[in-house]
Structure 1
């Protein structure tokens, strides 16, 4: 068994026992490592110390449970291994900047710690061969875009740390606000069809501490209304990664993050491919019924 598999084994155990007192010595024994080396290896692979990871996974589960309005906050706290309502609320506010009651009253999309799937760092698939892991199905192919596609939407300037913290940092998702704003204006101001294909694009800013994120829909409007931006997907050869998840929230939170990590840190380097300085996320729609999407990366010679 590889070292990463030993750590993954304990990650799976943690996920099933978040309501229990998880002991470092027992986890290390499960991984056949000393407590010292287990904690070092866990932190290196997961990017968080064991205790902090457990806390953040409990908080991630809490964001789901709190949406069930028929469950008392105290019951949720006890289910997740907290000793009191106060202890749970303090940890939730430290993590997300709001209390469980505030979140329940005004639920919004929160970035949260995802459960790692370390296999994605060590497995290389061929083009056209699907990879199925941890509720995600992804497949990578090449496509040629003969003509450029044009989109209209809104742009937000984002700190680079936002990308670096995806999957490990917790807090309010600023891009959710951008998408909500765009969807509100899409039909009321741009008069675009709800079914028009949508795209989210990350591309460089002249200030390297930031990047731009464009949220928009395919459009052929001759005149661009004030306050909106356009973005063109250039013609050319592309790497296209299609992936699916069990529901829309898992798709745009966990699956999108893990797929991007796999493409940029494993698949592209191993295939010695370089791509243009933008990453395009293509959505059929942003509805709760959407369970698949694509990442488009233009190949550079």
Structure 2
């Protein structure tokens, strides 16, 4: 996929410019993406923030120089993109738990995985159309104005909403980002779709759903790859995540999830992305 190519090229670029300033604005512009989207894409694929990844690669680069050259700590720090030996030593100790001089004395050899090998590893995290490393996000409560219906007739529910929105446009809309909320009660799934609004002052033809404030595990899903593996992958993450998160229920007893459609959604195009939010809480 094109997005994987962009991130692969970004990883190669970072490795070739570790001794230079590298920031989100510069990289996103280079790869023709907004800073927000680039960072979300990078974090989803790589599994850590851009800043953390650059720091770790610089430290790895420094480890190689410590073991294979007689350069001073200051020269290695500057070669690795740090502006002082103090900043270098702090970052080094934060990542490895010892000072650069102590590492040098140990005489080990770091294992440096290439950018191509990394992207292969990251690609393997994509099962079907879903990334296995969700972003943990916090969202305030929202009022969604729209329509609802049976979960197995989602297409009809969206069509009904779009027709209603043409006939009776919402005048207090907050954005045109689409929300699809699926609520499960035993074997019955009800789906609510619509737009976020500032208050409940809407035409009575609309249904109102109040989405509670919550923390979510947000999974990016490539629509063109299908949704076959999404439930199993998300359930696997809920059971095995190291942060101690478990599913949060609606009103204390109902399972639910949110599908979020922003500017990255473009139907069945290869780069079309939908976010699925699973409400979570610490165990």
Under a length normalisation based on structure 2, what TM-score does the superposition of the two structures give?
0.46
Higher-Rg structure is 2
User: Taking structure 1 as the reference length, what is the TM-score of the superposition?
Assistant: 0.43
